[in-house]
Amino acid sequence: MNVNLQHWRLDVDAQGIATATLDKAGESANSLSAEVMREFSSLLDQLDVYPTKGLIIRSGKEAGFIAGADISEFSQLDTAEKGRALVERGWKLFNRLEAVKYPTLALVRGHCLGGGLELALACRYLLAVDESGTKMGLPEVMLGIFPGWGGMLRLPKRVGPAAALDMMLTGKTLDAKRAKKMGLADDCVPPRVMEMAARQLLVSGQSRRPLPFMQKLMNGPLKSVVANGARKQVAKKARPQHYPAPYAIIDLWQKHDGNALAAPEVVDRIISSPTARNLVRVFGLQERLKGFGKDSDFKARRVHVIGAGVMGGDIAAWCALRGMTVTLQDQTLERMSPALKRAHALFTKKLRDPLKARAAFDRLIPDPQGDGVPHADVIIEAIFENVEAKHALFRALEPRMKPGAVLATNTSSLKLEDLRTVLHRPERLVGIHFFNPVSMMPLVEVVEAEGADPAAVQAACAFVKQIDKLPLPVKSAPGFLVNAVLAPYMLAAMRAVDEGVSPETVDEAMLAFGMPMGPIELIDTVGLDIAMAAGKQLASGADAPKCLLQRVEKNLLGKKSGQGFYAWSEGKPQKGSAGSVPAGLAERLVKPLIDRTERLVAEGIIGDAELADAGVIFGTGFAPFTGGPLNYRKSV
């Protein structure tokens, strides 16, 4: 066939089955740019002219099927017309794809997200390849927008509205097996048979599994019940003034059957919202963090963690979950047993497959003698926060380490420059600072001390990326970035309590601002003793707040002791009514955090304002819709 395409390849075999392979020029992953979609349209033109038995759509990239729309095009949507045109482009093209006379099949291997899944949903069949990287989802909501290319129309019809809304409102993804179980994929096959299975399914004439009766009702007469339920769920997590997109998704599905073009005012409002602009920016920042360590060819296979406490235990488990062989050392086996129990729970929850969980557990090896040290590519120290103890450990460790291995400390408050004095090669010590709880927090600070070996810092970043965390390079300074900016914010919150504002009101002020958790609840969660110690180190000599001192004296340490600012029961704080929030309270509480962030940028502790915004968002949960503290200050 005579189509001249830059991003697609069209092949037709002897039986008349066509295969369209997307291999976007100049990129490592496929995304649906205007150009890619124009070419797809002309490819369909060709197939209108030359009859085909069927069309298989697949990817020519190792990375996956299609990662979504081309996000760089979003920043060019400066008028309402351009926004609507973008929605229209995909909506019409995928309607056309759905309507073609010949059977179509999306062969999905690796990521299939956003517009990529919308394309696959418009095919008659979706065949998922069972591989660890295969995941399907509509994560548009995380960018503050909606799946306007047919996702809101077709996903509810395919998997039922409850599951579809859950996916569209949270951005969560399904692996190949779950996709099949839920009816999103027609089948799920191992990679070695995928081509054959695709051809068989394509020409099978097999009809799609019908939605169960109840799901059909929920997609029809019971729509408003489902929509109201979903609105209530969303309201628990996101306020409409901060995150309008999830509410728009529910409305568009309920009132317009997922056709956003039927509600152009919603399209205009969402696409031009500051939230969408900021979330797209945050996505870009996240990509930037992922880029750290890319240039290093360091690859870790074995990790040795010393200290099986709150942090070390969970760091070791996380590394094992991510496929590494991990030896975990502590003073005795008994000390390790709580960490191993937590690891077991983590593997069970995350892997949802007893065999895989077992394999992960086998990769996590208790090692009281430190036999893993000479084999480790990365050694992470997470013992008590005590200089002498860490010195003694480093002295014993260094002569036993592999030459190129990374030596890292997880210290929160000790200076790397003081810790490394006992090393023969002090320049090799780096900070790899995880946050608690390790499995939930996406950010890891990679700390560079004065005169550190740049290769060691690069290798540490590469390792952090390898375990799917976001590395943030910071210079060695008290509290690095995240704790340094949290300290003055928590102090301001407690000063407000000293002035007579109730903890509930302080928390409500910041929840209304858009923080995921109020600062007083946060202090209760990390522990009042820890907050006290951090305050001493980071509050530049300021007196501790009275409300904190009084409670610590009475040993009311927060969540862990059952009582802090709040009484805790079953892991939840028992809060009274917040009452009305005084005007300007949130701005007053957040100001010291923003001031400190600015100062850390000015002092060069963090590379630039963008990285600071990224670090504060991913390290503290700072309201993502604002685009970060410095972006927020610029915008007000």
Catalytic residue set? 412, 433, 445, 483
Exposure of 289 in the CB half-sphere (CA atoms within 13 A): 31
Q: Should residue 382 be labelled a site residue for ligand NAI when binding is judged by CB under 6 A?
A: yes
Write the burial class of residue 51 (CB in 10 Å: 0-12 exposed, 13-18 middle, 19+ buried): exposed
Given 307, 488, 519, 573, the residue binding ligand NAI (CB under 6 A): 307
Comparison of 273 and 329: residue with beta carbon closer to ligand NAI: 329
Sheet containing strand 443-448, edge to edge, reads 364-366, 325-329, 302-306, 378-381, 406-409, 429-433, 443-448, 470-475
Cα→Cα distances 286→78, 398, 617, Å: 23, 34, 10
Q: How far apart are CA 307 and CA 381, in angstroms?
A: 7
Given 173, 219, 327, 329, the residue binding ligand NAI (CB under 6 A): 329
**Minimal CB distance to ligand NAI: which residue?**
309
Q: How far apart are CA 22 and CA 45, in angstroms?
A: 16
Q: How far is the CB of 441 from ligand NAI (least distance, A)?
A: 9
Q: Should residue 272 be labelled a site residue for ligand NAI when binding is judged by CB under 6 A?
A: no
Given 330, 508, 521, 610, the residue binding ligand NAI (CB under 6 A): 330
* Contact string (CB under 6 A) for ligand NAI, positions 10-29, x = contact: --------------------
The stretch among 26-34, 60-68, 78-86, 328-336 that binds ligand NAI (CB under 6 A) is 328-336
Q: How far is the CB of 438 from ligand NAI (least distance, A)?
A: 9
Q: Should residue 315 be labelled a site residue for ligand NAI when binding is judged by CB under 6 A?
A: no
Cα→Cα distances 260→134, 165, 361, Å: 28, 16, 47
Given 30, 59, 278, 410, the residue binding ligand NAI (CB under 6 A): 410
Beta bridge partners of 245: none
Which helix or strand (DSSP H or E) is residue 8 part of? strand 8-12
Given 308, 373, 486, 491, the residue binding ligand NAI (CB under 6 A): 308
Q: Should residue 311 be labelled a site residue for ligand NAI when binding is judged by CB under 6 A?
A: yes
Given 310, 351, 533, 549, the residue binding ligand NAI (CB under 6 A): 310
Label the pairing between strands 443-448 and 429-433.
Answer: antiparallel
The stretch among 26-34, 132-140, 379-387, 493-501 that binds ligand NAI (CB under 6 A) is 379-387
Q: What are phi and psi of 66, to 5 degrees?
A: -140, 130
Q: Should residue 335 be labelled a site residue for ligand NAI when binding is judged by CB under 6 A?
A: yes
Given 11, 48, 371, 385, the residue binding ligand NAI (CB under 6 A): 385
Number of residues counted as binding ligand NAI (CB under 6 A)? 23
Give 460-512 as a DSSP string. Answer: HHHHHHHTT-EEEEEES-TTTTHHHHHHHHHHHHHHHHHTT--HHHHHHHHHH
Q: Should residue 383 be labelled a site residue for ligand NAI when binding is judged by CB under 6 A?
A: yes
Q: How far is the CB of 340 from ligand NAI (least distance, A)?
A: 12
Q: Are 450 and 417 in contact (CB under 8 A)?
A: yes
Write the burial class of residue 633 (CB in 10 Å: 0-12 exposed, 13-18 middle, 19+ buried): middle
Q: Should residue 306 be labelled a site residue for ligand NAI when binding is judged by CB under 6 A?
A: yes
Label the pairing between strands 104-108 and 429-433.
Answer: unpaired
Q: How far is the CB of 499 from ligand NAI (least distance, A)?
A: 29
Q: How far is the CB of 429 from ligand NAI (least distance, A)?
A: 13
Q: How far is the CB of 332 from ligand NAI (least distance, A)?
A: 8
- The whole-angstrom distance between residue 615's C-alpha and the CA centroid of its chain comes to 13
Q: Biggest alpha carbon distance in the chain?
A: 83
Q: How far is the CB of 374 from ligand NAI (least distance, A)?
A: 17
Q: Are 87 and 148 in contact (CB under 8 A)?
A: yes
Q: Should residue 309 be labelled a site residue for ligand NAI when binding is judged by CB under 6 A?
A: yes
Q: Should residue 384 be labelled a site residue for ligand NAI when binding is judged by CB under 6 A?
A: yes
Given 389, 542, 567, 602, the residue binding ligand NAI (CB under 6 A): 389
Q: How far apart are CA 344 and CA 362, in angstroms?
A: 10
Q: Should residue 393 be labelled a site residue for ligand NAI when binding is judged by CB under 6 A?
A: yes
Q: Are 382 and 339 in contact (CB under 8 A)?
A: no
Q: Should residue 525 be labelled a site residue for ligand NAI when binding is judged by CB under 6 A?
A: no
Q: How far is the CB of 392 from ligand NAI (least distance, A)?
A: 7
Q: How far is the CB of 434 from ligand NAI (least distance, A)?
A: 6
- CB-based contacts of 438: which residues, under 8 Å, 6+ apart? 311, 314, 315, 317, 318
The stretch among 153-161, 162-170, 330-338, 552-560 that binds ligand NAI (CB under 6 A) is 330-338
Cα→Cα distances 588→20, 482, 498, Å: 57, 19, 15
Q: Should residue 312 be labelled a site residue for ligand NAI when binding is judged by CB under 6 A?
A: yes
Q: Should residue 362 be labelled a site residue for ligand NAI when binding is judged by CB under 6 A?
A: no
Comparison of 314 and 610: residue with beta carbon closer to ligand NAI: 314
Q: How far apart are CA 165 and CA 157, in angstroms?
A: 11
Q: Should residue 436 be labelled a site residue for ligand NAI when binding is judged by CB under 6 A?
A: yes
Comparison of 96 and 335: residue with beta carbon closer to ligand NAI: 335
Which helix or strand (DSSP H or E) is residue 178 part of? helix 176-181
Where does this chain bind ligand NAI (CB under 6 A)?
Answer: 306-312, 329-331, 335, 382-385, 389, 393, 410-413, 434, 436
